Structure 1
Amino acid sequence: MINKLDLYKVFCEVGKCESFSKAAKELYMTQPAVSQSIMQLEMELDIRLFTRTAKGATLTNEGKLLFEYANSAINLISAGEKKLLESRNLMLGELKIGVGDTISRYFLLPYLEEFHNQYPNIKLKIVNKTSLELCPMLKSGEIDIAICNFPIEDSSLEIRKCIDVQDIFVCGESYKNKLSAPLNFEDLVNFPLILLDPKSNSRQYVEKHILSKGVKITPEIELGSHDLLLEFAKINLGIACVVKEFSKEYLEKGILHELQMSEEIPKRSMGYCFLKSVSLSPASTRFIEILEGR
Structure 2
Amino acid sequence: MISKLDLYKVFHVVGKSESFSKAAKELYMTQSAVSQAMMQLERELDTRLFNRTSRGVNLTNEGSLLFEYAHSAINLIDAGEEKMIEFKRLATGELKIGVGDTISKYFLLPYLETFHNKFPNIKLKIVNGTTDELIAVLKSGKVDIVICNFPIDDPTLELRPCFEIQDIFVYGDKYKELLSKRLRIEELVNLPLIFLEPKSNSRKYVEDYLLSKGIRISPEFELGSHDLLLEFAKINLGIACVTKEFSQEYLTTGELYEVQLTEEVPKREVGICFLKRVPLSSASSKFVELIEAVTCD
**What interval of TM-score do these two structures reach, taking the shorter chain for normalisation?**
0.7 to 0.9
Q: Secondary structure at the match of 2:293?
A: coil
In structure 2, do the counterparts of structure 1 residues 282 and 225 end up closer, same or farther at CA, with 3 Å as the change threshold? same
- CA deviation vs aligned residue, 1:202-236 (integer Å, no higher than 9, x gap): 00000000110010011111111111110010000
Residue identity matched to 1:231? E
- 1:193 matched residue in structure 2: 193
Report the 3-state secondary structure (helix = DSSP H, G, I; strand = E; otherwise coil) of the residue aligned with 1:293. Answer: helix
**TM-score w.r.t. structure 2 length?**
0.73
Deviation at 1:37, TM superposition (A): 7.9
- Contact preservation (8 Å) 1:83, 1:93: no
SS in 2 for 1:90: coil
| 2:171 aligned with 1:133 | no
Mapped contact 1:197–1:224 kept (Cα < 8 A): yes
- Residue 243 to residue 120, structure 1, CA distance change in 2 (3 Å): same
What are the residue-to-residue correspondences of 1:159-170 with 2, within 5 Å?
A: 159-170=159-170
Taking the aligned partners of 1:102 and 1:83, their CA distance within structure 2 comes to 36
Alpha-carbon separation, structure 2, partners of 1:34 and 1:191:
86
Structure 1 residue 110, shift from structure 2 partner: 0.6
1:265 Cα deviation after fit = 0.1
Cα distance in structure 2, aligned partners of 1:284 and 1:273? 11
Distance between the aligned counterparts of 1:222 and 1:78, measured in 2? 56
Q: 2: distance between equivalents of 1:250 and 1:82?
A: 51
2:254 is aligned with 1:254: yes
- What is aligned with 1:116? 116
Instruction: Work out the CA distance in 2 between the residues paired with 1:34 and 1:274.
Output: 49
Distance 1:102 1:212 in 2: 27
Deviations 1:141-190 (A, max 9, x none): 11111001000011111001000000000000001112252112221222
Report the counterpart of residue 53 of structure 2 in structure 1.
Answer: none
Q: Secondary structure at the match of 1:161?
A: strand
Deviation at 1:238, TM superposition (A): 0.5
Letter in 2 for 1:189: V
Structure-1 residue corresponding to 2:48: none
Other structure's SS at 1:142 match: coil
Change in 2 beyond 3 A, CA 1:36/1:246: closer
Partner AA of 2:263 in structure 1: E
RMSD: 3.1
CA distance in 1, matches of 2:206, 2:64: 67
Distance 2:82 2:200 in 1: 37
Mapping of residues 99-114 of structure 1, within 5 Å:
99-114=99-114
Q: Which residue of structure 2 aligns with residue 237 of structure 1? A: 237
- Which residue identity is paired with 1:280? L
Partner of 1:11: none
**Cα separation, partners in 2 of 1:189 and 1:106, compared to 1, 3 Å:** same
Q: Which runs of 5+ in 1 are unaligned?
A: 9-30, 39-74
The answer to whether 1:150 aligns with 2:150 is: yes
Structure 2 unaligned segments of length 5 or more: list them: 9-60, 69-75
- Based on CA coordinates, which of the two structures has the bigger radius of gyration? 2
In the alignment, the residues of structure 1 paired with residue 106 and residue 253 of structure 2 have an alpha-carbon distance, to the nearest angstrom, of 17
SS in structure 2 at match of 1:270: strand
Q: Distance in 2 between matches of 1:78 and 1:206?
A: 55
Q: Structure 1 194/7 Cα, relative in aligned 2: closer, same or farther at 3 Å?
A: farther
Q: Distance in 1 between matches of 2:280 and 2:116?
A: 18
Amino acid across the alignment from 1:198: P
Note the alpha carbon deviations across 1:41-88, whole angstroms, 9 max, x for none: xxxxxxxxxxxxxxxxxxxxxxxxxxxxxxxxxx9x899747614413
Q: Using a 3 Å threshold, how does the CA distance of structure 1 residues 101 and 80 change in structure 2: closer, same or farther?
A: farther
Aligned mates of 1:123, 1:234 — CA distance in 2 = 38
**Residue in 2 aligned with 1:25?**
none
Deviates more, 1:77-86 or 1:165-174: 77-86
